[in-house]
Structure 1
Amino acid sequence: MSKLSHSQTLKPSNVPTSQPFHSINCNGRLVDLSVPKIMGILNLTPDSFSDGGKFNNEKSALQHTEKMLKDGAEIIDLGPQSTRPKAEFLESSEEIRRIGNIISLMKKEFPEALISLDTFYSETVEFGFNEGIDIINDISGGHYDDKMFDTVAATKLPYVLMHVNPSYETMHDKIKFADITLSENQYFSEKTMELLEKGVNDIILDPGFGFGKTVEDQMKMIDEVKYLDFGKFPLLIGISRKSFIYKPLGKSSLDINEETQKLHLKVLQQGAKILRVHDVVEAKKTVDAFLNK
């Protein structure tokens, strides 16, 4: 990683004992999460479940980034590979090809924006780091690439740790957990310990809505999300356009805004710090309503 010698990017995160859990160190920029942040989704894919092919070129990606930032997003989550059920599996080289110059263009056009890279490949993380990303968003919890945690530690970037089944092939296999909250806490306890031992201090927890869980367990997760942060790790919630909301209602992924915002408000009331969303305008209204309660 050629940028690892750069003093600014190597500015270390504060140790967990002295850093409030509601802030993260992004490339030397301390980001306060006491006010919840909106992470806007930017899929560079032709096959994502609700917006595939809409933003997979430089012009449309930059236009959508600009719109999401104006609408209230502060983080843009860049996704070069779809992880919906039955999506095409891509190697890291294809992810990197799809990203191309988009990260560097985004950093130039929107220097105030925080850029998150959604990948489970350490090689893609290295590429993104050298292009200027601020956050690593790994849906695999380090399961799918045994170099991921070491690579994250070398970058000193915040890392989104998601709860997921242990292999790519089984990520969407439905499991009925005896106690989903207990299972998630056991998983997060083990994984955060491993990350902290490697020197990754800025960890964000993602319960993994939409990945291998029953509708009943996901609704239980909504009700019990307040028990998942251990009091020191911020929570990211990604329920936007997820099937556990729309399928039981007999609706489409694009027709559940009201229901989604009610659930967003519920998790915000329990301490969620980041909402990962497609519909930034509506999420911003929900955050504003929460702050002005």
Structure 2
Amino acid sequence: MHSNTQTHTSSYSINCNGRLVDLTSPKIMGILNLTPDSFSDGGKFNNEKLALLHAEKLLKEGAEIIDIGPQSTRPNAEFLSSEEEIRRIGTLISQIKKEFPEALISLDTFYAETVKFGFNEGMDIINDISGGQYDGAMFDTAAETKLPYILMHVNPSYETMHDKIQFEDITLEINRYFSEKTRQLLEKGVKDIILDPGFGFGKTVEHQVKMINETEYLGFGRWPLLIGISRKSFIYKPLGKTALDINEETQKLHMKVLDQGARILRVHDVLEAQKTLLEFNAKKNKS
């Protein structure tokens, strides 16, 4: 598929606490899980000192955004309250901000209360996997903080999050959802929206292959697109591999979505994604 490059030259900038961040050149978001039950890094970083060291490693390797996840959303993960999330985060956000003032911090939560806490600690971006569907106060809170909001496509409830629903056309379905939710967010006064099509959440392998092939049509080119395919089962299961040995395949797919205008790659392995990004930028500067 030859993508129409014109649609991808629009400049995207987001306002993070008064700091304008230009997404014209794509950024890497490094994942920092604080969960003892997280599927791929097994809770290695769930104590503050280790988490801070890992944040430093992610930044050194080329991540510009650190995505802090206090709760695992993999299938059959333990469901946590907002209080428990806040307890897990502790002073990590303010510590990272103090040590690495240039780092942008996104907080992966579907609770408005956790967002309020994170905002007071200095976070920059809200990463809500629920599209405001699991906490009715989320969109209002996003508007109050004035932080950029990552809107992900997902099933309507926590319980059905991983149910595979039969969609006639997944691209159409995701765009219908984006169109409705961005309208709601804009009405509330949320100015900066980033779209995430929600790989790994209630979608079949076929759905996700189609989403990769049709990335350029997701979100109408109006908002920056975040793609999170790192260690997702739609890549490793058909190959009979594990989450940790699909780097080569993942980087090929990263290149494919970058070619189609993706602005943020959410990844576990920053070093490898950084190589792909450098290759992509070199290719782009040549053309």
Give the TM-score category using the shorter length.
over 0.9
Does the alignment pair 1:202 with 2:192?
yes
Matched ranges for 1:238-253 at <5 A: 238-253=228-243
CA distance, structure 1, for counterparts of residue 155 and residue 117 of structure 2:
26
Q: Is the 8 A contact 1:149 1:198 kept in 2?
A: yes
Does the alignment pair 1:37 with 2:3?
no
Q: Which residue is equivalent to 1:133? A: 123
Does the alignment pair 1:74 with 2:64?
yes
Q: Which residue is equivalent to 1:145? A: 135
CA positional deviation for 1:274: 0.1
CA positional deviation for 1:21: 5.1
Q: Is the 8 A contact 2:11 2:22 kept in 1?
A: no
User: 2:135 corresponds to which letter in structure 1?
Assistant: D
Does the alignment pair 1:25 with 2:15?
yes
Q: Which residue is equivalent to 2:51? A: 61
Q: Deviations over 1:159-186 (max 9, x none)?
A: 0000000000000001121000000000
User: 1:107 corresponds to which letter in structure 2?
Assistant: K
Segments of structure 2 that go 5 or more residues without pairing to the other structure are 1-9
CA distance, structure 1, for counterparts of residue 67 and residue 197 of structure 2:
17
SS in 1 for 2:107: strand
Q: Structure 2-normalised TM-score?
A: 0.95
Q: 1:280 to 1:175 in 2, by over 3 A?
A: same
CA distance, structure 2, for counterparts of residue 21 and residue 45 of structure 1:
35
Q: Which residue is equivalent to 1:265? A: 255
Does the alignment pair 1:165 with 2:155?
yes
SS in 2 for 1:292: helix
CA distance, structure 2, for counterparts of residue 290 and residue 278 of structure 1:
19
**Does 274-283 or 171-180 show the bigger shift?**
171-180
Q: Structure 1-normalised TM-score?
A: 0.93
Q: 1:96 aligns with which of 61, 86, 96?
A: 86
Q: Which residue is equivalent to 1:287? A: 277
CA positional deviation for 1:229: 2.6
Q: Deviations over 1:30-81 (max 9, x none)?
A: 0001110000000001001101220011111010011110000000000000
Does the alignment pair 1:225 with 2:176?
no
User: 1:126 corresponds to which letter in structure 2?
Assistant: K
CA distance, structure 1, for counterparts of residue 253 and residue 84 of structure 2:
35
Q: Is the 8 A contact 1:80 1:118 kept in 2?
A: yes
SS in 2 for 1:276: strand
How much is the aligned-residue C-alpha RMSD, in angstroms?
0.7
CA distance, structure 1, for counterparts of residue 127 and residue 221 of structure 2:
21
CA distance, structure 1, for counterparts of residue 196 and residue 162 of structure 2:
16
CA distance, structure 2, for counterparts of residue 240 and residue 150 of structure 1:
30
Does the alignment pair 1:181 with 2:181?
no
Q: Deviations over 1:254-289 (max 9, x none)?
A: 000000000000000000000000000000000000
CA distance, structure 2, for counterparts of residue 218 and residue 53 of structure 1:
27
Q: Deviations over 1:60-118 (max 9, x none)?
A: 10100111100000000000000000000000000000000101101101100000000
User: 2:112 corresponds to which letter in structure 1?
Assistant: S
Q: Deviations over 1:139-174 (max 9, x none)?
A: 000000000000000000000000000000000001
Q: Is the 8 A contact 1:21 1:233 kept in 2?
A: no
Q: Which residue is equivalent to 2:40? A: 50
Q: Deviations over 1:193-247 (max 9, x none)?
A: 0000111010000000000000000000000010113222000000000000000
SS in 2 for 1:230: helix
Runs of 4 or more above 3 Å deviation: none
CA distance, structure 2, for counterparts of residue 132 and residue 124 of structure 1:
12
Identity among equivalent pairs (%): 80
Q: Which residue is equivalent to 2:201? A: 211
Q: Is the 8 A contact 1:39 1:75 kept in 2?
A: yes
SS in 2 for 1:125: helix
Q: Is the 8 A contact 2:142 2:190 kept in 1?
A: yes
